[in-house]
Structure 1
C-alpha cells in the first residue's frame, strides 16, 4: 500500500509514459512541498525499475539518505562502496521544492512534482527518454525528446522554458543523462534484479455481484496477485466486447510486489448470464474466462439442515433433563435409582 500512496502523491496530473510488454523503464519521481510554518520544504524522491520501487529518499527522515527498497539493489553497495553516499548527496542537493518552481517566494503551501527517466526496447536499446513537471497539481512543463526543447503547458512556464533553453549546456546534460547514463544504469539494475524483475506471476481472478438501491446490477471482474502490470480485462456480452460500457480502475500495487485491477459493467437484473469477463496476462498460457455464478440454492438446504439438526439435538437434551428430574423424585444428587427401575 505504501507504493500506491507514494504513486498518488508523486504523480498528481503527471501522465506516465505508456510502456509495452517486453520493454523496460527506469523512472524517478520527485515531490517538493513548501511548508511556511517550518521554513524548510519537504522533499521526497522514489525510483522505479519497471514496476518495482527500488530506492527512496525522504527529506524528513531522522538522517535523510537514499535507501534501498528492494532486496536486489542492496548488492550495488557491495560492488560500489560509494553508491549510497553519492546518490544521497545528489538528492540532498536537489533545488527544493523542485527545479521548476514558479511559486518560489509565494506565500502559502505549494507543490512541485517531477518525473524523469528512460525506456528500453525488449532488446535493451534506447527507446525514449522523458522528463516533465507539474505545479500545484497542474501540468507545467515537459521535455520534447525528439528536439530536446521544452513545451510549456501552463502560461507561467514560458519564463522557465526560455531560461532552460537559453542554457544549451542544461539541455545537453539532460540528453546525455537520458540517452546514456540512464540506459547504462537501467541495464545494470535489470541484470542485478533479473530474478525479481524478470519473473511472471499469473493473476487470480473472480467475478462479484453488486446491486445498488435502485435495483441496478453491477458485475465486477477483479484480477490480483499478478506481475508485471500489463493486463487486459474485457467484458463481453453474448461474445461482443463492451468497452464503452465498462468502468476500469488503474492497475494498483498490492503492497507485496504484485498488482491488482478490476473492471465493472452495469446491467438490468436478470441479464447477468449474458456477460463474460476475459482476463489476459503474459503469465497465463491462455486467457481466463469467468462468469458470475449465483450461489446454489442447495447450499441453503444444507445450512438449513444443519441448523434444524442442532435445534433437534438441543430439544432432545432438554427433554432428557426434564424426564430425569421427574423420575428422580426431585431429590438431590445423592439419590441412587433402584436397580431395574
Structure 2
C-alpha cells in the first residue's frame, strides 16, 4: 500500500476587536481593528503548523505575521504603519507569537471536542463569535464576561474556557489596548483610512431568455465599503425582489457592488436605483438610459449628397474648361485671306 496522504486542517479566527466613534478626535463613522488568524496543520499531528495573523483597520491591511515552526516574521503592509515606529511593529509581533501558541491549542481542542480527526473542519470567529463547520458554536457576550453556546457540545468548550478564564484575559485588550491602537492607526493613516471616495454608478440592461429584462445597478470605485443600493418602482421599495451581491474589493483599495431587479420589457423607465454613500453629497437616483440608435439612413444620405455635389462641381469645371478651349485664339495671331 502507498503512503497515506493527509489533507491539511485549518483553524480560521476572525476577531473583530473594537468599534469606535469619536467626534472629539475628528473621526467620522465607525472604525474597526480586526485580526484574521489562520492555523494550517498536516495530519497526523499539529507539530508542523503554519500560523498567519493578518491585521486590518477597517478593510485596509496593515500587518502580516507568519510562523513556521521556529521561524517567524512580520511585515508592515499599510502605507502609514512605518510612521507608527518600529516599537509598535515589535509589539504586534510579540502579541502574534503569544497568540499563535493559543491558536494551536484551539485547533487541537476543537478537533478533540468534535471527534473529527478524520475530516476537514473549519472554525470561524467574528466579534469573538465562533462557528464550527458553518454552524453557530460559542460567542462572547457584550458584557465580555459570559458566553452563549449553540448546543450541548459547545458547553464542553464553555466550561473549559470558563475554567481557564479566557474572557477575563481578553476583556482589557478589547476595552483599552485595542481602542488605543485603533485611534492611533486612524490618526496616522487618516489620509488612507478616513478618505471618502464616492461611487461611480450606472445601470446596465440585460434581456433574459424568458422575455423579461434584468436591470443591474453598479456602484464602482468607492471607499469606505459601507454603501446602500436599493431599487424602487415608482417610489415603492423593492428590497425583497432584488438580487444584491456582497460588497467586493476592487483590488485598488476601493470597492464595488451591484443590485439587480427583473422587470417587464418596455417598463424599464418606471424603475429607479438609489445609491447612498458617505462620499456623496446627496443620494444618486439612476434609471436605465437607452443608447440612441445610430442614424444610418441620414448618414448615408449626407454622404451620397456630398458625392453628387462633388460630382456636379467637377462636371461644371470640366465643361467650362472644354468651352473655353474651343474659343482659344491660336498662337501666332489671326490670319486673313485677301
- TM-score, shorter chain, exceeding 0.5: yes
**Pair 1:291 & 2:299 matched:** no
Deviation at 1:84, TM superposition (A): 5.2
CA distance in 2, matches of 1:19, 1:214: 48
Unaligned runs of 5+ in 1: 1-8, 116-129, 313-341
Which residue number in structure 2 is paired with residue 244 of structure 1? 240
Which residue number in structure 2 is paired with residue 173 of structure 1? 169
CA contact (8 A) 1:98 1:113 kept: no
CA contact (8 A) 2:16 2:35 kept: no
Deviation at 1:260, TM superposition (A): 0.8
**Would the alpha carbon gap of residues 288 and 60 (structure 1) be closer, same or farther in structure 2, given more than 3 Å must change?**
farther
Which residue number in structure 1 is paired with residue 156 of structure 2? 159
Is the deviation greater in 264-273 or in 83-92? 83-92
Unaligned runs of 5+ in 2: 1-10, 22-27, 308-338
**Would the alpha carbon gap of residues 97 and 301 (structure 1) be closer, same or farther in structure 2, given more than 3 Å must change?**
farther
CA distance in 2, matches of 1:81, 1:232: 36
CA contact (8 A) 1:29 1:113 kept: no
Deviation at 1:204, TM superposition (A): 0.2
**Pair 1:206 & 2:193 matched:** no
What pairs up with 1:40-189 in 2 under 5 angstroms? 40-59=48-67, 64-78=72-86, 80=88, 82-83=90-91, 85-96=93-104, 98=106, 101-104=109-112, 106-115=117-126, 130-146=127-143, 148-168=145-165, 170-189=166-185
**Would the alpha carbon gap of residues 76 and 147 (structure 1) be closer, same or farther in structure 2, given more than 3 Å must change?**
closer
CA distance in 2, matches of 1:205, 1:98: 44
Deviation at 1:138, TM superposition (A): 2.6
2:82 aligned counterpart, secondary structure = helix
**Pair 1:26 & 2:30 matched:** no
1:95 aligned counterpart, secondary structure = helix
Deviation at 1:35, TM superposition (A): 2.6
Deviation at 1:60, TM superposition (A): 6.1
Equivalenced residue count is: 284
**Would the alpha carbon gap of residues 238 and 251 (structure 1) be closer, same or farther in structure 2, given more than 3 Å must change?**
same
C-alpha root-mean-square deviation of aligned residues, in Å? 3.4
Deviation at 1:239, TM superposition (A): 2.4
2:152 aligned counterpart, secondary structure = coil
2:285 aligned counterpart, secondary structure = strand
CA contact (8 A) 2:214 2:260 kept: yes
2:139 aligned counterpart, secondary structure = strand
**Would the alpha carbon gap of residues 154 and 33 (structure 1) be closer, same or farther in structure 2, given more than 3 Å must change?**
farther
Structure of greater relative contact order (alpha carbons < 8 Å, 6+ residues apart): 1
Question: What is the TM-score normalised by the length of structure 2?
Answer: 0.73
Which residue number in structure 1 is paired with residue 311 of structure 2? none
CA contact (8 A) 1:54 1:69 kept: yes
Deviation at 1:296, TM superposition (A): 0.9
